[in-house]
Chains A and B, each alone.
Chain A
Amino acid sequence: MVANAQKSPSTPPLARAEAPPADTSAVRRVAGIVALVILAALLWEGAKAFASSVDYALPIAGATLDLTVFNDQQLPHLGAIANAFVQPAQRNGPPLYSELLSASAFTLQMAIGGFLMGGIIGFALAVIFAHSRFMQGGCLPYVVASQTVPILAIAPMIVIWLGRAGFQELAIPVIAAYLTFFPVVIYSLRGLTAVPPTALELMNSYAASKWETLVKLRLPNALPHIFTALKLSATASVVGAIIGELPSGIQQGLGIAILNFARSYTQSPERLWATIVMAGAVGIGFFVVIVILERLIVRWKRPEDG
């Protein structure tokens, strides 16, 4: 009897690669971040300890290197910064962290406003540029040029103009939007136009309209690019909101806190540092929210694409 040796290729080559177990890579990533933070803290305190041990003067090749920047008035201990959060900023006032939290809430609100405004305007411009070479050629250089103008120079103008027009409260979001719309224009335009030619021919073969081609091909093709832009925009919007607060005269946000604590830096540097830590946390938090959104929306990518 002859066995049926001819095994039919009934099992088709299945998925090329299994997704790597997500939790171990996430754990490793978090471990890496924690390790970096610990390393930075060790460097910080190590530099201070070393500078203190040589009495803030290091003789090198006949000259003396001044290390007073590492003393407690210039660079506070990390413990002092942490302690500053729970101490009241003013006599009998609330603890600093509660002041900073409400300042952060205000700044974040302004940043989100600017982020949305910049995102919508940036995306709309990209759609227009993607469909009109004339508009792209005529306007894109000005979009690029807009980013070479120092934001500090135009922020007061925006405050004054919008104040005259009666839209004072829009000034900070508009200043933030000025920084955030740019990456959205550039990355969205790239995503909308970098479409494989055959993918477009396919749409043509279905006699699809421009609108259908935009919605079913160009837009999803652009999404990964758009998220790259939104991640840049998220952090830029926080910076933009802080800068926007300075000329606005509004006393609620992180911008004013930074300005005030910078003035009293020599008395209590740890307060400014605490505020910087808070501002950084706001920016990182916003960034992480966008990353999570990206994970939820751009689900089709193969694991190695990252």
Chain B
Amino acid sequence: MGQKNVATVISIKNITKKFRGSDGEQVHAIDNINFDIVEGEFISLIGPSGCGKSTLLRMIADLIEPSEGTISVNGKSPRQARLDRDYGFVFQSPTLYDWRTVLQNVELPLEIMKYPKAKRRERAEEMLGLVELGSFVNKYPWQLSGGMQQRVSIARALAFEPTILLMDEPFGALDEMTRERMNNELLRIWTAIPHMTVVFVTHSIAEAVYLSDRVVVLSARPGRLATIIDVDLPRPRGPETRDLDQFFHLTSQVRHSLRGGVGDLSKVIE
């Protein structure tokens, strides 16, 4: 996954977010964050709870608005990018609709985007094949395990061929074994779709290092950019990657950056 011609896909400039908490007190969630994300990159945002990493992701997605600063996505405002369906979003909970089968869940965005019926089915089946759930198309969400549900949600996010995949702690609720398997799945999917940019929010250091080209470390309250760490681990990555000295070195580098920041480190899971 070389980055020969680096085209900026997402640009975050002077982003600050303040909002009123439930007690009426002003919360300074994010303070003056700047960085760019390039095409085809896999980038992770990591930080302790309350560092605003999910908030930042939601601002890129135009699900909330920044208080100050500008974000551009594919050279457009986040709002325009949302209207143009430039990105797919994967939530921490799979957020599948109970009343739809697995196939119908993946078809949901395609229905809204007015794909013809035959094309919808074809795309949805293709995506479910990609996440290896081809034989579960007619199941209802409750009939699947948590990991399988999250794979359906990834298939749904990719169904309409967005160029950007935004993921908000997608594997946070899974057990460690399932999470590592899902990490490999995700890398396989990312590799299968050329030029797809992934922005991945996590609080797992190992997960961030294992997956990413770069890890953006945020400090807490207000969320500030602590550092950006380049991950030059060879690709393709697999279980053996986790045993490399370099892997240990990078995870401790991330851990030290997190400690350097102000925040509650007890919330950071490795």
Contacts and interface: CB of A to CB of B under 8 A. Distances in A.
A202 B91 contact: yes
A202 B89 contact: yes
A204 B140 contact: no
Contact of B82 (A12, A198, A205, A221): A205
Residue in A15, A204, A207 whose Cβ sees the most chain B Cβ within 10 Å = A207
B98 interface: yes
A272 B83 CA distance: 66
B18 interface: no
Contacts of A16: 142-143, 145
B112 interface: yes
B112 A216 contact: yes
A298 B142 CA distance: 14
B95 A204 contact: no
Contacts of B242: none
A285 interface: no
A15 B148 CA distance: 10
B87 A12 contact: no
A15 B95 contact: no
A300 B85 contact: no
B139 A205 contact: no
15 contacts: A12-B148, A15-B144, A202-B89, A202-B95, A203-B112, A205-B89, A207-B83, A216-B97, A216-B111, A216-B112, A220-B97, A220-B100, A221-B99, A300-B142, A302-B140
Interface residues of B, number: 29
Interface in A184-211: 196, 198-199, 201-208
A220 B101 CA distance: 13
Interface of A: 9, 12-13, 15-16, 196, 198-199, 201-208, 212, 216-217, 220-221, 223, 298, 300-302
B134 to A, nearest CB: 12
Contacts of A15: 139, 143-144
Contacts of B139: 15
Interface of B: 58, 61, 63, 82-83, 85, 87-89, 91, 93, 95, 97-100, 108-109, 111-113, 139-140, 142-145, 148, 181
B112 A206 contact: yes
A198 B143 CA distance: 21
Contacts of B98: 300-301
A300 B140 contact: yes
Contacts of B108: 206, 216
A196 B89 CA distance: 16
A196 B95 contact: yes
B111 to A, nearest CB: 7
Given A201-B89, A216-B112, 19 more contacts: A12-B148, A13-B145, A15-B139, A15-B143, A15-B144, A16-B143, A16-B145, A196-B95, A201-B58, A201-B63, A202-B91, A204-B63, A205-B61, A206-B112, A207-B112, A220-B97, A301-B98, A301-B142, A302-B140
Contacts of B140: 300, 302
A66 B189 CA distance: 83
Closest 3 interchain pairs by CB?
A15-B143, A302-B142, A220-B99
